[in-house]
Structure 1
Amino acid sequence: MTSTIRVDHTHWACPLPLQGWPGVKCDQGNEMSAEYCKNCKKKRAVKAKALNRNGDKIGKLIEITATGEELWDYD
């Protein structure tokens, strides 16, 4: 786990459920500069996928500390 974002980690995919769609995750791709999902408007959360610029999964968000630090686990 690391709090240092890799150079190839340019995007993240939202892991949160879509409101009104039971069992369906948002899964919207967002730029790392965006703290909130552009689709569901929720804040980046644990289990978000780490994506490269091609949309390939390269890891996931494991923890957000009490101080707001994000800890990522890369493949």
Structure 2
Amino acid sequence: MQVIKQGARARILGRPRDACPYPADSRERRAWFEGFDGSAWDHDAPLPDPDVTASAGTSSAGNGRAALHPVRAMP
């Protein structure tokens, strides 16, 4: 996925994590963070409805960032 590569490249170039250009609570933002952090996220994890979170004036994480759901590797 191209967005994951963008996040990884941003980290390599020394950009801050909050340089993500994608909207909060979007799949693209989660993918960008996956590349930046080097962690996978659960593709089946539900995303909040952007209309609901926008009307509330905050994201689901409460800090303006999308909540990540890391996937642990099986032993």
TM-score of the superposition, structure 1-length normalised? 0.31
**Larger of the two Rg values belongs to structure:** 2
Q: Which has the higher strand share?
A: 1
Q: Would you tell me which structure has more helix in proportion to its own residues?
A: 2
